[in-house]
């Protein structure tokens, strides 16, 4: 039902208006459709939006790497809307780009538009986030993190941190964008890791949409509705940073009165960790640009690539954050 509605909306809009509507940011406008001219590869990339520090770093990495690799990038910002991404992909097909890459805002509802790309013989690369289609022939590869593993690492840290706690440990959870792969998987991985220890209770769990503003708003509501909060698990640093403002606003000490574990390891999050306001961060690496451009070149040349390429990531406590902060790129 939801899918039929989205398809109808997408089909009803003239795709040529796309770049004005969604805000074009990359280079390459006005080149000959197809090859990009003179053998240059044209890459159509549809980005989720600009919701977090992670996303800003990811966009910069993709734009810088395309430039360095001599790839003609047509960049489209979907402003968190699946219908904008579907329109962008249709526009890329119409422009006969050589390769399409995108970071899907949500997991489901992609089959129809990806079948259109396949029919047009345009290879598709998923970056950062996966889709839930069983038809893996719709894309050449998926480059990105294992979000279940990230959630699990956050939960494992918690079990160690609270190993000696005797009473209930009340946890509030700020989820990412509803229906997105990182929100679904980070919730799942964390739940798995704490499942065997009955003292851990997730007393409230709600989306903070991966943004600082929403993280603050939802944490304020949690602080009003919950009589005892021991831990905040935030699916990204931005929501944790918003929540820190809410906790301080309520007269409590983040990192002490309420322990905080989050995911990403962007500069502001790492600073909060170094300052003792966040207790632990699981890294999610946004610097996917160089690997993506290598893959684009390979699939454009018709070479085989692995179906799944997992990003390498680490974890940070306060000491490690202090050590790496001076060299942190983002
Ligand atoms: O898909 C990656 C997630 O999306 C990042 O963890 C989050 O900050 C971003 O918005």
Q: If you measure from the C-alpha of residue 54 to the centroid of ligand 1, how many angstroms do you get, rounded to a whole number?
A: 6
We report the CATH number of the domain holding residue 135 as 3.40.50.2300
Using DSSP bridges, classify how beta strands 99-102 and 42-47 pair: parallel, antiparallel or unpaired: parallel
Q: Are residues 115 and 129 in the same domain?
A: yes
Q: If you measure from the C-alpha of residue 52 to the centroid of ligand 1, how many angstroms do you get, rounded to a whole number?
A: 7
Is there a contact between 262 and 239 (Cβ–Cβ < 8 Å)?
yes
Q: Are residues 291 and 266 in the same domain?
A: no
Asked if residue 300 is part of any domain, the answer here is yes
pLDDT at 24: 38
Q: Are residues 60 and 70 in the same domain?
A: yes
pLDDT at 32: 37
47, 52, 126, best to mutate for ligand 1 pocket (most atoms within 8 Å of CB): 52
Asked if residue 152 is part of any domain, the answer here is yes
Count up the domains in the chain and report the number: 2
pLDDT at 142: 98
Q: If you measure from the C-alpha of residue 176 to the centroid of ligand 1, how many angstroms do you get, rounded to a whole number?
A: 8
**Helix, strand, coil share (%) of the chain residues, nearest 5:** 45, 20, 35
Q: Are residues 197 and 84 in the same domain?
A: no
The span from the CA of 134 to the CA of 140, in Å, is 14
Q: Are residues 51 and 153 in the same domain?
A: no
pLDDT, one tens digit per residue, over 163-176 is: 999 999 999 999 99
The answer, yes or no, to whether residue 75 has pLDDT greater than 50, is yes
Ligand 1 proximity of 182 Cβ (cutoff 6 Å): yes
Q: Which three-class secondary structure state does DSSP give residue 325?
A: helix
The span from the CA of 143 to the CA of 290, in Å, is 11
147, 148, 210, best to mutate for ligand 1 pocket (most atoms within 8 Å of CB): 210
pLDDT band for position 193 (cuts 50, 70, 90):
very high
pLDDT at 30: 36
pLDDT band for position 317 (cuts 50, 70, 90):
very high
Ligand 1 proximity of 128 Cβ (cutoff 6 Å): yes
Work out the angle between the directed axes of helices 2-11 and 82-94 (0-180°, nearest 10): 50
pLDDT at 23: 36
Please state the atom number of ligand 1 nearest to the C-alpha of residue 180.
Answer: 1
pLDDT at 329: 87
DSSP string covering 290-308, please? Answer: HHHHHHHHHHHTT----SE
Q: Which structure tokens are listed for 140?
A: 């050449």
Q: Are residues 173 and 115 in the same domain?
A: no
Mean confidence (pLDDT) of the chain? 91
pLDDT band for position 25 (cuts 50, 70, 90):
very low
The answer, yes or no, to whether residue 289 has pLDDT greater than 60, is yes
Asked if residue 62 is part of any domain, the answer here is yes
Ligand 1 proximity of 177 Cβ (cutoff 6 Å): no
Ligand 1 proximity of 283 Cβ (cutoff 6 Å): no
Ligand 1 proximity of 51 Cβ (cutoff 6 Å): yes
Please state the atom number of ligand 1 nearest to the C-alpha of residue 238.
Answer: 8
> H or E segment at 43?
strand 42-47
Q: Are residues 229 and 271 in the same domain?
A: yes
The span from the CA of 97 to the CA of 119, in Å, is 14
Q: Are residues 123 and 158 in the same domain?
A: no
> Region 43-64: what's the mean pLDDT?
98
pLDDT at 188: 98
> Region 29-57: what's the mean pLDDT?
78
Asked if residue 259 is part of any domain, the answer here is yes
pLDDT at 210: 98
> Region 108-134: what's the mean pLDDT?
98
Residue nearest (by alpha carbon) to ligand 1 atom 3: 182
Ligand 1 proximity of 55 Cβ (cutoff 6 Å): yes
The C-alpha R_g of the chain, in whole angstroms, comes to 21
DSSP string covering 204-254, please? Answer: EEEE-TT-HHHHHHHHHHHHHH-S---EEEESSHHHHHHHHHHHHHTT--B
Q: Are residues 85 and 99 in the same domain?
A: yes
Q: Is 286 or 13 the better-scoring residue by pLDDT?
A: 286
Structural domain harbouring 268: 147-284
Asked if residue 294 is part of any domain, the answer here is yes
Q: If you measure from the C-alpha of residue 92 to the centroid of ligand 1, how many angstroms do you get, rounded to a whole number?
A: 24
Q: Are residues 132 and 165 in the same domain?
A: no
> Region 268-277: what's the mean pLDDT?
98
Q: Are residues 154 and 274 in the same domain?
A: yes
Residues listed for the chain: 330
Work out the angle between the directed axes of helices 147-161 and 181-194 (0-180°, nearest 10): 30
pLDDT at 3: 38
pLDDT at 1: 33
Q: Which structure tokens are listed for 91?
A: 């526009």
The span from the CA of 75 to the CA of 91, in Å, is 11
pLDDT at 39: 85
pLDDT, one tens digit per residue, over 202-255 is: 999 999 999 999 999 999 999 999 999 999 999 999 999 999 999 999 999 999
Percent of the chain with pLDDT over 70: 88
The answer, yes or no, to whether residue 36 has pLDDT greater than 70, is no
Ligand 1 proximity of 236 Cβ (cutoff 6 Å): yes
Please state the atom number of ligand 1 nearest to the C-alpha of residue 49.
Answer: 10
Q: Is 13 or 102 the better-scoring residue by pLDDT?
A: 102
Q: Are residues 296 and 279 in the same domain?
A: no
Ligand 1 proximity of 214 Cβ (cutoff 6 Å): no
């Amino acid at each position: 039902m939801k899918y039929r509605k989205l398809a109808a909306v997408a089909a009803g809009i003239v795709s040529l208006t796309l770049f004005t509507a969604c805000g074009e940011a990359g280079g390459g406008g006005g080149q000959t459709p197809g090859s990009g001219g003179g053998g240059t590869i044209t890459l159509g990339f549809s980005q989720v939006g600009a919701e977090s520090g992670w996303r800003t770093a990811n966009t910069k990495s993709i734009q810088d790497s395309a430039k360095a690799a001599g790839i003609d990038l047509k960049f489209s910002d979907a402003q968190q809307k699946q219908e904008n991404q579907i329109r962008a992909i249709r526009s890329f097909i119409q422009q006969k780009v050589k390769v399409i890459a995108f970071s899907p805002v949500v997991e489901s509802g992609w089959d129809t538009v990806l079948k259109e790309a396949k029919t047009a013989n345009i290879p598709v690369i998923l970056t950062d986030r996966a889709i839930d289609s069983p038809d893996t022939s719709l894309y050449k590869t998926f480059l990105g993190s294992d979000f279940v593993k990230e959630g699990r690492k956050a939960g494992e840290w918690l079990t160690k941190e609270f190993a000696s706690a005797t009473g209930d440990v009340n946890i509030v959870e700020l989820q990412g964008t509803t229906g997105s792969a990182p929100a679904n998987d980070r919730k799942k991985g964390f739940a798995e890791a704490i499942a065997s220890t009955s003292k851990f209770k997730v007393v409230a769990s709600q989306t903070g949409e991966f943004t600082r503003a929403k993280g603050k708003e939802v944490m304020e509501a949690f602080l009003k509705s919950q009589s005892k909060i021991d831990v905040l698990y935030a699916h990204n640093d931005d929501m944790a940073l918003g929540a820190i403002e809410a906790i301080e606003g309520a007269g409590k000490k983040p990192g002490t009165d309420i322990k905080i574990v989050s995911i990403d390891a962007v500069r502001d999050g790492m600073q909060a960790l170094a300052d003792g306001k966040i207790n632990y961060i699981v890294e999610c690496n946004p610097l996917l640009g160089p690997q993506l451009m290598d893959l684009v070149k390979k699939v454009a040349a018709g070479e085989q690539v692995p179906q799944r390429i997992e990003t390498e990531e680490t974890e940070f406590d306060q000491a490690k954050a202090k050590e790496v902060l001076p060299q942190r790129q983002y």
